[in-house]
Amino acid sequence: MSNPLDTDAGSELFGSYEAEFKLVQADLTQKLDQISELNGEPRKSAISAAERALEEADELLGQMRLEKQNIPSSSRTKVNQRFRNYETDVDSAKRKLRSLASDRAALFGSRYTDDPSTPTDVQLEQRQQLLSGTDRLDRSSQRLRASQALANETEAIGAGTLADLHAQRERISHTGQVLYESEGYVDRSVKTLRGMARRMATNRVITIAIITVLVILILAVIYSKFR
């Protein structure tokens, strides 16, 4: 039955990763069940195959962790719950694989002995070195996966930062356009004020001239009366 989330916008890619993860998870479970029934070289091969399946599951979890950020908030709660369940399943598979891989008696068969001083088991030291190398490789793989997850998160943060910078650039461009238009309005206002100032100066000159003429006329009338 298809998951109803797969029809939501932004969830198609997550659904694809989820479906692939379930296939890998089923394959991993089958491999882990087979390991307990094997000994010697077949057991080693089965453990290696299970480790590769675990790495693939971890990679898919990293992709799902990134993609679930693009899912709408209304559907993200259910997705987060399923994702946490997947992480729990993978952690359980890792613990089970470590337990199976640490069973040296089953791994090396009847030749295995816990007594390193036994002179008849010359290969014991080599097997111990091999296991030590395997442990170091497993720790290195875990650090690599952690670094990859951190890189994925950093990439997501970088993408969000770029989106924010783009939005800020758009706002700055819009503000510059508004300021440019405002400058045009200011220029027109200055021209209008200058025209008004010229008209006021002209009116003042005319007013002074009229007053002067009136004063002269008044003086002429007074002069004519007393002549």
CATH number reported for the structural domain that contains residue 52 in this entry: 1.20.58.400
Quick one: tokens of 208? 């002074």
Predicted confidence at residue 153, as pLDDT, reads: 82
Predicted confidence at residue 124, as pLDDT, reads: 62
Is 205 within a domain? Answer: no
pLDDT at 51 over 90: yes
Query: What is the rounded CA–CA span in Å between residue 164 and residue 158?
Result: 10
Q: List b or e across 18-56, with b for residues whose CB sees 16 or more CB atoms inside 10 angstroms.
A: bebbeebbeebeebbeebeebbeeebbebbeebbebbeb
Task: Specify which of 53-57, 138-142, 150-154 reaches the highest per-range mean pLDDT.
Answer: 53-57
pLDDT at 71 over 80: yes
Count the domains in the chain.
1
Residue 189 pLDDT level (bands cut at 50, 70, 90) = confident
pLDDT at 67 over 50: yes
Closest CA to 149 of 19, 59, 50: 59
| DSSP 3-state of 69 | helix
Is 188 within a domain? Answer: no
Beta-carbon contacts of residue 94 (< 8 Å; ≥ 6 apart):
54
pLDDT at 18 over 80: yes
Q: Which domain holds residue 6?
A: 1-110
